[in-house]
Chain A
């Protein structure tokens, strides 16, 4: 049976039938919240019922003016830029190269590597955040390892000093000075006169050659240099662990994305290039990259959108602290909406800046993809 050709009217009906529900759904879940957010960001609404509650009015761009003079906003934005950079220029290239290595079977056990690298992406980011916090914490695994190393070095130094006593255990000022030379300067701040105070402390505890282990143990507790992750409380530096975890967490997702798309490329093109003498680098750069430029562009959009909304991982790792140095825009928005004194208009203004920056960055990505993407050289 041959079906008749569809008429224009039928096509129109089908078009509206399928498009209308989706259009209204789009308005409801996407356009409506954005429009509402814009209105609230320009208002003095501060919680409660929107209609029938406390009266509120449109007050203009006051909240945006507050934002641009608030150092916390610029710090949060800068931290977000770090996340965007590590995502776009870290996750995507790394994911691409790893996918290529697996696709071209340059590394063995490709499927195993894929699975291993993808695992972080399927674990709850809250769990991952807590896990990494336990590693980077001031009492965490990293600090523990570093302090064990320092303690061993200090203890070895004490051994050397004790050996220099030639079989006696005589604590002189010179011996104490040698001990203090090995010590953490911060640990001496509680002594008015470090040499005499430490000497008194050693003598009052009655150490001897028979109790040399106790002597070493106690002095290591008291004076050994301590490592603490101070960089976690300094602007910019504190973002390094977060950027590292971001890279570790989601690179596997892009690996899967790129690898799946590489498998669509005709093998014969690559074989022909290899026969003509192209190196793996040339194959990657001149065949794979142009063929996947659209996918790379889409991956970049996903990356940018995800990075500007990053919240859960950082919240679990640092809570935006200490002293807000790891705060990003989403946390800054959350804190203005739900922590301490609520400022809903300001929180909405922050949300709008997130949307605006997303559009700008995605626009740049699309422009670059259109200009440079998909051209085989």
Chain B
């Protein structure tokens, strides 16, 4: 009897092993913040994909923020790029090497034309990607500067959303008297100040042509216009618009500070809308839908004195999925099916409904959007023009100095002129 059980057991093991061996293993390195609303819905969709594709053994590894880039960098360095990865269109951290060395396939040759034709021309423009191929299919067009305003709080204090910097500055004592910060910008992770605010300031005060000229050696960061942009950033701290404590606040702390009414405004990317929506797994929201409708809004950053590009906001072709260039045969087919699922109407609708982004696929609609998600396209419409996100166009050796420099300016340990000189030195070293 024991021998029979042993033989049966061994047979079962062999069968299980054989069925596992038949599956195509697909390693997928995916970016999502597991603490953000929408995570449960996202994971449910991947389970659905696995159920619909039993021949694929999908191995998803999840990470977010800077640790995502660090681990992806380690994968690239080890020559172990996963089969499908979530990447940025330009030089942002780990994506630089992927784009520069074309470590991924041109999706124009992989994805069917009838799927690609459903996306906005901006998403398909390969000039938005530093590799000049469709290395990833941008899931959205990302506005990296979005001012979240607690209009309910302002109204309760008899205040209005400012349209000029002078009006914003005038709010500082009126809010501070109630123990409320004016503008929250947690910057311990270094990139938020540059990506989510300074890029817009630079765009408004010097514009994209100036940045192109600096890269071409025809202008310098030490020129008056760019130093003035840094000086304006400095004035945000000196005028008390941004409290110095923000320099030491982690990126994840912003939504909580804002939603709890400790700051009247919060500046972040448009993707942060998702942090405030209802988490379907718990039924809780940082800002409940009724309050989203009446007490919160997404607004443009106020007019800056001396701006030459009025109302401009930094924006960039969004992130998306890419396929390892070495994939062939069954693996490539599996990766292709994964991307088709990710860029499907069903998946992107859920992403919009959970506030992750407004899809670049044009036929996606929904009647289940929470008020703040509805306000996103309205915010986009209010923006007259977009400008560069600096970490998308400058070399990392230069924008890393800017990231450090913005922290230094905030803490008052470096002057705008010093930061500009440091940046120019790094830019000159690239020649």
Give residues in A with beta carbon < 8 Å to B: 47-50, 53-54, 137-139, 143, 186-187, 189-191, 197-198, 201, 205, 218-219, 221-222, 228, 230, 232-234, 319, 321-324, 337-342, 344
B66–A339 CB distance below 8 A:
yes
Is B238 part of the binding interface, using a Cβ–Cβ cutoff of 8 Å? yes
Question: For residue B410, which residue of chain A has the nearest CB?
Answer: A322
What is the CB-to-nearest-CB distance from A216 to chain B, in angstroms, rounded to a whole number? 12
What is the CB-to-nearest-CB distance from A114 to chain B, in angstroms, rounded to a whole number? 36
A219–B77 CB distance below 8 A:
no
Which residues from B are CB-within-8-Å of A143? Answer: 245
> How far is it, in angstroms, between the C-alpha of A322 and the C-alpha of B245 when the chains are bound?
12
> How far is it, in angstroms, between the C-alpha of A339 and the C-alpha of B189 when the chains are bound?
12
Question: For residue B180, which residue of chain A has the nearest CB?
Answer: A221
> How far is it, in angstroms, between the C-alpha of A89 and the C-alpha of B77 when the chains are bound?
39
Which residues from B are CB-within-8-Å of A187? Answer: 176, 240
What is the CB-to-nearest-CB distance from B285 to chain A, in angstroms, rounded to a whole number? 24
Is B16 part of the binding interface, using a Cβ–Cβ cutoff of 8 Å? no
B247–A138 CB distance below 8 A:
yes
A189–B240 CB distance below 8 A:
yes
Q: Interface centre among B79, B173, B400, by most A CB within 10 Å?
A: B173
> How far is it, in angstroms, between the C-alpha of A103 and the C-alpha of B112 when the chains are bound?
78
Which residues from A are CB-within-8-Å of B177? Answer: 201, 205, 218-219, 221-222
**Inter-chain pairs besides A191-B173, A321-B407, A338-B77, 16 sampled, C-beta below 8 Å:** A47-B76, A138-B247, A138-B249, A190-B173, A198-B173, A218-B177, A221-B177, A221-B178, A322-B188, A322-B407, A323-B407, A323-B408, A323-B413, A337-B74, A341-B397, A344-B77
Question: For residue A49, which residue of chain B has the nearest CB?
Answer: B79
Is B73 part of the binding interface, using a Cβ–Cβ cutoff of 8 Å? yes
Is B161 part of the binding interface, using a Cβ–Cβ cutoff of 8 Å? no
Which residues from B are CB-within-8-Å of A319? Answer: 188
Is B93 part of the binding interface, using a Cβ–Cβ cutoff of 8 Å? yes
B407–A338 CB distance below 8 A:
no
8 Å CB contact of B173 from A138, A197, A323, A339: A197
Question: For residue B238, which residue of chain A has the nearest CB?
Answer: A189
What is the CB-to-nearest-CB distance from A225 to chain B, in angstroms, rounded to a whole number? 14
Which residues from B are CB-within-8-Å of A49? Answer: 79
Proximity bits, B174-191, A CB within 8 Å = 1, else 0: 101111000000001010
8 Å CB contact of B73 from A50, A54, A338: A338
What is the CB-to-nearest-CB distance from A62 to chain B, in angstroms, rounded to a whole number? 14
8 Å CB contact of B248 from A138, A186, A191: A138
Which residues from A are CB-within-8-Å of B79? Answer: 47-50, 53
A340–B77 CB distance below 8 A:
no
Which residues from B are CB-within-8-Å of A186? Answer: 240
8 Å CB contact of B169 from A137, A190, A201: A190
Question: For residue A197, which residue of chain B has the nearest CB?
Answer: B173
B244–A47 CB distance below 8 A:
no
> How far is it, in angstroms, between the C-alpha of A138 and the C-alpha of B26 when the chains are bound?
44
Which residues from B are CB-within-8-Å of A338? Answer: 70-71, 73-74, 77
What is the CB-to-nearest-CB distance from A368 to chain B, in angstroms, rounded to a whole number? 39
Question: For residue A218, which residue of chain B has the nearest CB?
Answer: B177
A48–B178 CB distance below 8 A:
no
A48–B245 CB distance below 8 A:
no
Is B69 part of the binding interface, using a Cβ–Cβ cutoff of 8 Å? yes
What is the CB-to-nearest-CB distance from B184 to chain A, in angstroms, rounded to a whole number? 12
Interface size class of B (residues with CB under 8 A): 35 or more
8 Å CB contact of A190 from B77, B240, B396: B240
Give residues in B with beta carbon < 8 Å to A: 66, 69-71, 73-74, 76-79, 93, 96-97, 101, 169, 172-174, 176-179, 188, 190, 238-241, 244-245, 247-249, 395-397, 400, 404, 407-408, 411, 413-414
What is the CB-to-nearest-CB distance from B345 to chain A, in angstroms, rounded to a whole number? 36
Which residues from A are CB-within-8-Å of B77? Answer: 47-48, 337-338, 342, 344
Question: For residue B247, which residue of chain A has the nearest CB?
Answer: A322
* A48-B77, A205-B177 known; A230 vs B411 contact (CB < 8 Å): yes
8 Å CB contact of B69 from A53, A228, A337, A339: A339
Which residues from A are CB-within-8-Å of B176? Answer: 187, 221-222
Question: For residue B397, which residue of chain A has the nearest CB?
Answer: A341
Which residues from A are CB-within-8-Å of B239? Answer: 189-190
> How far is it, in angstroms, between the C-alpha of A47 and the C-alpha of B179 when the chains are bound?
50
Q: Interface centre among B238, B396, B411, by most A CB within 10 Å?
A: B411
What is the CB-to-nearest-CB distance from A193 to chain B, in angstroms, rounded to a whole number? 12
Which residues from A are CB-within-8-Å of B248? Answer: 137-139, 232, 322
Query: Would you give 18 A-B contacts (Cβ < 8 Å), ordered by A?
Result: A47-B78, A53-B79, A54-B101, A138-B245, A139-B245, A139-B248, A187-B240, A201-B174, A218-B178, A228-B245, A321-B188, A323-B413, A323-B414, A337-B73, A337-B77, A339-B73, A340-B400, A341-B397
> How far is it, in angstroms, between the C-alpha of A201 and the C-alpha of B159 when the chains are bound?
14
Which residues from B are CB-within-8-Å of A47? Answer: 76-79, 97
What is the CB-to-nearest-CB distance from B342 to chain A, in angstroms, rounded to a whole number? 26
Question: For residue A200, which residue of chain B has the nearest CB?
Answer: B173
Which residues from A are CB-within-8-Å of B247? Answer: 138, 233, 322
A341–B174 CB distance below 8 A:
no
Which residues from A are CB-within-8-Å of B78? Answer: 47
* A221-B176, A341-B397 known; A139 vs B407 contact (CB < 8 Å): no
8 Å CB contact of A340 from B93, B101, B240, B245: B93
8 Å CB contact of B411 from A53, A198, A322: A322
B70–A48 CB distance below 8 A:
no
What is the CB-to-nearest-CB distance from B74 to chain A, in angstroms, rounded to a whole number? 6
What is the CB-to-nearest-CB distance from B420 to chain A, in angstroms, rounded to a whole number? 16
